[in-house]
Chains A and B, each alone.
Chain A
Amino acid sequence: MQLVGFPVVAGIVLLAFVANAKKSAHEKLNNPIRMASFAFSLGLFAYTTAMFFDAFADITTSGLAFNDYKFQDSYEWFPALGIHWTVGLDALSFPMVWLTTFLLPVTIIATWHEKNGATYFPTLLLMGGALIGVFVSLDLFMFYVFWELTLIPMFFLILNWGGKDRKYASQKFFIYTFTASVVMLLGLVTLYLMQPEQIGAGGKYGTMTGRTFDIPTLVEHATAANQNGWFLGESMQKVLFVMLMLGFLVKLPAVPFHTWLPDAHVQAPTGGSMLLAGVMLKMGAYGMFRLPLSMFPHALQHFQLALMIFGMVSLVWGAIVCLGQTNLKKMVAYSSVSHMGVILIGIATMQPMGWAAALFMMFAHGIISPMLFAVCGAFKHHYHSMEIGAMRGMAKHSPWLATSMMFAWMASLGLPLLAGFVAELMMFIALWYFIDLQGWSVLWMVGPALVLALTAAYYLWSMQRTIFEGGDETQPPASLNGDVVPDITNEEKMAMLILAAFTILFGVMPWIGLDMMDDYCRTFFEHMISNGIFKGGA
């Protein structure tokens, strides 16, 4: 499919072009390469937007059943093993793909003046291509290939353009997530080999193994088997669920697997952070929806409480740790952990609304967190420091940056009419339903409610120390060495404006994206209930 191929090919071509050029010519190449990458990513964005109007805008009326995909396409890849290049989009993957193509040009604008642009921008394109690959693939093998492939450009983004401890951070990032995903790989392989064997069936099934990596087929098998008992047997389903979830929880990341994230974020360049927080973390949540939740609903019910606890702990712990941070970027990173907790809670409620909340959280956080990191990046770029309090009275020195920061912070803490609010509100309603349904104590609400206050606290407090307190011309940050205090560049302003506009757009009119997510969750639960896997009435 063009969506994956184009950015990857374009990135490689541009990189090859740069590699062939002489060292001295690299400086001159920055601008043309940047323009080419930018134009290309814009084209990609236009393409996915057109796809939206073509197939997804009216999805609730046109309807898309569970395990049904648009733009589905399949080619043979390794017929011996039943591996196909299968791609397709549904309401689960499309918002993520759109988000990726939206963030690519925005990231390029926001980091317009990044050093060594000639290699930086193509690397961003490669990253985008790999990310899209994860979301569009409907084949376990292909999914895993792209899943790992995203590590490589990100590793280089951190290593080549990162902060002072980039060496440590990039390796930790790679090893941490790789370890989790090889365990996931073993899970995938075991799942692959335990499916019913179709010797000599051909087609989707491997000629050598008689099994398939095709996700829609596997989901079909799973649904059929789950109707009367557990797909693959009870204990096996649980084991596989845990193995797959481990990979996804680390990527998400959920406490206690989150320790790679702050390091990676703090050391990553702004562009890397924007894509990392915006899309890459969502791979974890996306993977959960795509594989274990669709195939192992019984195990999901079994582990519901565990997931809920993971979610609660991530939510609360992330928020508490945020309070103690003195580094702006680290604080934002931990706030991501906290927000990912919302996704887990949404999933664990096992309510259509909770799931929709989780999906919308993925999407909304994908727009808001890049803005948070763009602000951090601009801060670092102009004040050469990331410490909260390095700059005081920013509202007076750098009104643009101060305004963007305020907007992003507010969006992230869930101000009504901004995108994040919608997801959080839905999550709370779903959680309330869930607690009511299970007859649990109301005390379960205390944690999330407390976090609302904590989130407001750490954001407002950091804002107070950065934007408002102190002031006049008296306290420019020491790191500037007495230079004139600058405001952000025009390109950065532009990126902030775009991100802000879309945050407002999806806050005021959430149904643009929410409709299809809601539809997905509804059809999923209908599917599960009509097949007798879940009990009705939820």
Chain B
Amino acid sequence: METTQAFSSEFYTALLPELMLFAGLLALIIIPNLGKGTFRIPGTQIRLPWFMGGERYALTSNPHLPAWIATITLTGAFLAVGDSLRGGIDSLLVMSSDADEAKELLMINGFSRVFELIFFGALALASFASMNRLKVEGIGAKLDVEKLYNNRRQADFYILMLTCGLGMSVVALAQDLFVLFIGLELASFSTYVLVAFLKETKAGAEAGMKYFIVGSVASGVGLYGLSMLYLWAGSLQFDVLAATFATSGTEPLPLIGIGFVLVGFGFKVSAAPFHFAAPDAYAGASSPVAGVLATASKAMGMVGLIRMLLIVAAPESSEGSAVWLVCLGALAALTMTWGNLAALGSTNPKRMLAYSSVAHAGYMLAGLTAVGAWTWDPSFAGQEGEAALMVLTALLFHMVVLVAFKLGAFLVLSILESDGDASRLSSLGGLAKREPLLAFGMFIFMISLAGVPPMAGFLSKLMVIMGIVNVGVGTGAESLSDFHWVWWLALLMVLNSAVSVFYYLRVAVVMFFDAPEEGREGPLPSGWQVRTSIFACVLVTILVGIFGDSILEMCRSAAESLTTNW
């Protein structure tokens, strides 16, 4: 592992994607303001061209411009991350200085890169699709003020998208709980505003308010937990925390502290019982934003959980029966069951998807439990964490492919929203007749969420189940009673998948069978950007399911890079 200091040249090359985001932010702030403004030198009549303000150019006042800037920036960052992942990257640790007592700040390795890939990919798709989602008024209108207003508003939205991405990537990179917390808050505040962005609608305002209140309470609790950890260890760095935990991890203080921190992250991944705000937030937010919440924001919460539980607390769990493991297992079981049962009863497709995302959080938590439990069988010890590696790979893979089909499903709803409404199941009625290709795409997303082969969702679910079972059976088990109890989580997971098929299929049935709602016949509003995004999602969902080996290898090396320091 190489180390470097903040603001060294290596630091800049390694953080290229984040710097791109930063540049994009600046561009978003500056470019839409460019105009024919001039600057008069005081005391003279000389006016120098100043380019800021005044009557704006046609290009810079184009309401679509901010969206393009954001999309290009995010796509660029995505490609930069992808490029650095292709050759398999070395770990780079960024220290606060080159002194001996320097603190670890950021770690750039395969693990954080994969998460950046998830964040930027999801955000790029969402901002590209939002181009058709946010109403663009005033094109061709005489009133420049209105145009300006509209343009500004567009810029606000995409600035938030970028800050969200920036915060998320800080979370993925952080090696220090405090740095992590800053990133988390940056991303969280952006999402609070994004959720409330449709403030003209009651649902939007209410969703934003609820999400903000619950979210800030969760953050507050998490912060309280952090302070307890600091009180106990005297530092918030992962390596210090881990070392201290290994020696005195059974004290009540760190356990309580970790518990509080888990609440904070549990809210982000929308684990039951911290999920109550999620359905409201998803339903009130515009669909692409809801898609971001369900994919990128959730992955961000998972980073936090993985870091906390595996880096800090894993060494303690050597006997496989640590307290937090049991808690996490129970949480996983509760989350997946609650999510699925609630989804069965919801008739609003967005709420349904929200609950389905709660259920998926449960599956991921089950995987995480298995990672924590991998040391239960002493014979695993010789394998250098092979069993845990498999689950971690599965989790990463699941989060990567989830972007394609979860976000894709939200984008289809987004088109329906532009058509009028997507808050009832019947809004999807007759979609197969109105837009056969969209209905086909939605069907692919649904069966992928349900885990039907050969979609990517099947492969990822299979991987997670396989990982859990692998840990569960251990070596040399002769009967069910020889298994570790995480095996039963796998059983619960397949049963839950079976339940979930019902509500996913219901969508398909409504699309292909029911008549459209009154006055909603005919094709949906056009918008090639959102359609392109959906098409990309369909493509990824199918292709990764069939030829996903390289993605799997990528996740594998990412998981390895996390576990090398175990």
Contact = CB atoms under 8 A, between A and B. Distances in A.
Given A175-B501, A193-B469, A80 B556 contact: yes
Nearest to B470: A193
Nearest to B496: A182
A233 B479 contact: yes
Nearest to B433: A23
B213 interface: no
B454 A79 contact: no
B390 A186 contact: no
Given A167-B509, A185-B462, A193-B466, A145 B453 contact: yes
B189 interface: no
Contacts of A144: 453
B403 interface: no
Which among B451, B475, B549, B556 has the greatest number of chain A C-beta atoms within 10 A?
B549
A156 B512 contact: yes
A208 B393 contact: yes
A235 B483 CA distance: 12
A486 B64 CA distance: 64
Contacts of B447: 152
B465 interface: yes
Interface residues of B, number: 45
A72 interface: no
Contact of B494 (A19, A145, A149, A185): A185
A171 B344 CA distance: 14
B469 A236 contact: no
Interface string B481-500: 00000010011001101100
Contacts of B495: 179, 182-183
A235 B501 contact: no
A78 interface: yes
B2 interface: no
Which among A80, A152, A155 has the greatest number of chain B C-beta atoms within 10 A?
A80
A208 B556 contact: yes
Nearest to A141: B462
Given A151-B452, A160-B512, A236 B501 contact: no
B543 interface: no
A338 interface: no
Contacts of A156: 512
A190 B458 CA distance: 17
Nearest to B475: A197
Given A144-B453, A233-B477, A235-B480, A182 B497 contact: yes
A149 B452 CA distance: 8
Interface in A130-175: 144-145, 148-149, 151-152, 155-156, 159-160, 166-167, 170-171, 174-175
Contacts of B549: 77-80
B466 A189 contact: yes
Interface in B437-468: 437, 440, 447, 450-454, 458, 462, 465-466
Given A175-B501, A182-B494, A186-B491, A194 B477 contact: yes
A209 interface: yes
Interface string A175-196: 1001100110110011011100
Interface in A191-219: 192-194, 197, 199, 208-209
A373 B543 CA distance: 37
Nearest to B512: A159
B478 A159 contact: no
Contacts of A239: 479-480
A73 interface: no
B468 to A, nearest CB: 9
A473 interface: no
B548 interface: yes
A157 to B, nearest CB: 12
Given A171-B506, A186-B465, A209-B390, A80 B498 contact: no
Given A19-B436, A236-B480, A239-B480, A194 B473 contact: yes
Contacts, number: 111
B12 interface: no
Contact of A193 (B393, B473, B491): B473
A122 to B, nearest CB: 13
Contacts of A192: 466
A234 interface: yes
B513 interface: yes
B552 interface: yes
Nearest to A180: B498
Contacts of B55: none
Contacts of A77: 549
Nearest to A238: B479
Contacts of A183: 494-495, 498
A167 B393 contact: no
Contact of A19 (B437, B491, B508): B437
Nearest to B447: A152
Interface in B535-566: 548-549, 552-553, 556
A171 B480 contact: no
A81 B509 CA distance: 34
Contact of B505 (A81, A175, A193, A197): A175
Contacts of A19: 436-437, 440
B502 interface: yes
A208 B436 contact: no
B478 A186 contact: no
A236 B478 contact: yes
A170 B506 CA distance: 10
Nearest to A76: B549
Nearest to B393: A208
Contacts of A185: 462, 465, 494
B562 to A, nearest CB: 16
A189 B462 CA distance: 8
B465 A189 contact: yes
Contacts of A190: 469, 473, 487
Contacts of A208: 390, 393, 552, 556
B176 to A, nearest CB: 32
B334 to A, nearest CB: 20
Contacts of B480: 235-236, 239
21 contacts: A78-B548, A78-B552, A81-B466, A144-B453, A145-B453, A148-B453, A149-B452, A152-B447, A152-B452, A160-B512, A171-B506, A174-B501, A174-B505, A178-B450, A178-B501, A179-B495, A182-B451, A186-B469, A208-B552, A235-B480, A239-B480
Given A78-B552, A149-B454, A186-B494, 10 more contacts: A19-B436, A79-B549, A144-B453, A149-B452, A152-B452, A159-B512, A170-B509, A178-B501, A186-B490, A186-B491
Interface of B: 383, 386, 390, 393, 436-437, 440, 447, 450-454, 458, 462, 465-466, 469-470, 473, 475, 477-480, 487, 490-491, 494-495, 497-498, 501-502, 505-506, 508-509, 512-513, 548-549, 552-553, 556
- In order of increasing CB-CB distance, the 4 nearest A-B pairs are A235-B479, A233-B478, A179-B498, A145-B453
